[in-house]
Amino acid sequence: MTIPFNNTASSRFLHGFTDLATLEKNGPVVVTQGEGIYVQDTTGKRYLDANSGLWNAVAGFDHPELIETMVAQTRKFPTYHAFFGRVPEPAVALADKLIEVSPFDRGKVYFTNSGSEANDTMVKMLWMLNRARGKPERRKIVTRVNSYHGVTVATASMTGKAYNGHFGLPLPDFLHADCPHYWRYGEAGESEGDFTARMARNLEDLIHREGPDTIAGFFAEPVMGAGGVIPPSKGYFEAIRPILRKYDIPLIADEVICGFGRTGEMWGSDTYRMEPDAIIASKCITAGYFPMGAILLSGPLADDIMDVSRTIEEFPHGFTAGAHPVGCAVALKAIDLIRNGGLLDNVRRVAPQFNAHLARLAKHPNIGEARGIGLMGALELVADKALKTPLPADLQVSERLANEALRNGLIVRPLGASIVLAPPFISRNEDIDAIFQLLESSLDNVLAKV
């Protein structure tokens, strides 16, 4: 069925995270198919998707091996659960593979349907663990301002975004430490090293104020993705890790966006020397071809969870489609393509050119900061470069820029005052050039009007 491209095309569809004024004016882009790094709408127009769908379609939109794997597993065994001691064969193989490629020498894996569910499950694990230890008051979860961890009630409480106030969140016991964004929050005359030291001091002060024996865990993205691609300040994780260890607070790496190659390493944890106690994974785990999330528990943390579960005869938690056989088979193929099929190698090959374009645009008078690593980057728009003054919010410049890019056949993402880029891992150097050529043309057109 062909759906016309107009503002009535999705009158019954409720859009999330969508600027409604734009939607009501232009209507949705109803996407019908994809080829490589391009998608196509119902009018036949093609768009270069410079955001890999939603960070996750790293192998493009029609990868034959992923499709063949999905079809073959569907024919062999299309659905099952992982309750009551039964488990699909691909889930066992995937758990083994994930620990093999993780920073952990041993551990366990728990499967969910999304990153939100994985983070939510990890919170429940920590709460369960501390109650069993006789420390039920140890349940506060610390994340960071501008972080993103999901949309369930718990993970929205973890997410350090103001929009969650519309839901009456965060819930009690969810705390937000400083955002380690040196360009935005560094003080006058403060070096990056001094800024990192202040972030560490402030975190320890927060722990003291709340009470170390009330904190269950600290969750952090290696790079804040939905915060606007914000890498941590230099030495950040090396500075805070000893503090967390001092107070026996687990560090959970939210690798939903960074994991499986986005930063140029298999894990963002490796890129930034996080040394986490657990890893949350999703998105690229299946290259976006199947909904899946996973919790990778380090050996010691896995031992603790198992000990507690034995005392009550089970781990009383689960999702009907967690460890889905088709998803697990696809994930095994996606991980193989990333590690052995050239995808991670290609990230490393084209990332220098991607980041060179970002660095060049940093000289633009209305780009306050161009930041990125691997194949993830952002351009933050400002009115005054020296003072870092944002453009007036009512101008909606990033939204207008994203809409102009869309008209020009390029998909980018507006995030606050920033434009975010996260191209698929299969992108070639000429694709990177095309992305920035279209983006710069769109930028010039929008700024000429404002």
Q: What pLDDT is recorded for position 5? A: 45
Reduce the secondary structure of the chain to three states and give it as a string: CCCCCCCCCCCCCCCCCCCHHHHHHHCCCCEEEEECCEEEECCCCEEEECCHHHHCCCCCCCCHHHHHHHHHHHHHCCCCCCCCCCCCHHHHHHHHHHHHHCCCCCEEEEEECCHHHHHHHHHHHHHHHHHHCCCCCCCEEEEEECCCCCCCHHHHHHCECHHHHHHCCCCCCEEEECCCCHHHHCCCCCCHHHHHHHHHHHHHHHHHHHCHHHEEEEEECCCECCCCCECCCCCHHHHHHHHHHHCCCCEEEECCCCCCCCCCCCCHHHHCCCCCCEEEECHHHHCCCCCCEEEEEEHHHHHHHHHHHHHCCCCCCCCCCCCCHHHHHHHHHHHHHHHCCCHHHHHHHHHHHHHHHHHHHCCCCCEEEEEEECCEEEEEEEEECCCCEECCHHHCHHHHHHHHHHHCCEECEEECCEEEECCCCCCCHHHHHHHHHHHHHHHHHHHHHC
Question: Tell me, which fold does domain 68-339 have in CATH?
Answer: Aspartate Aminotransferase; domain 2 (3.40.640)
Q: What pLDDT is recorded for position 3? A: 41
Q: What pLDDT is recorded for position 361? A: 97
The two domains 68-339 and 342-449 share their CATH topology (first three levels equal): no
Q: What pLDDT is recorded for position 351? A: 98
Q: What pLDDT is recorded for position 8? A: 52
Q: Give me the residues of the chain with pLDDT under 70, please.
A: 1-10
Q: What pLDDT is recorded for position 323? A: 97
Delimit the domains of the chain by residue range: 68-339, 342-449
CATH of domain 342-449: 3.90.1150.10
pTM, two decimals, is 0.96
Q: What pLDDT is recorded for position 2? A: 42
Q: What pLDDT is recorded for position 11? A: 80
Model confidence pLDDT, tens digit, residues 14-47: 999 999 999 999 999 999 999 999 999 999 999 9
Q: What pLDDT is recorded for position 9? A: 53
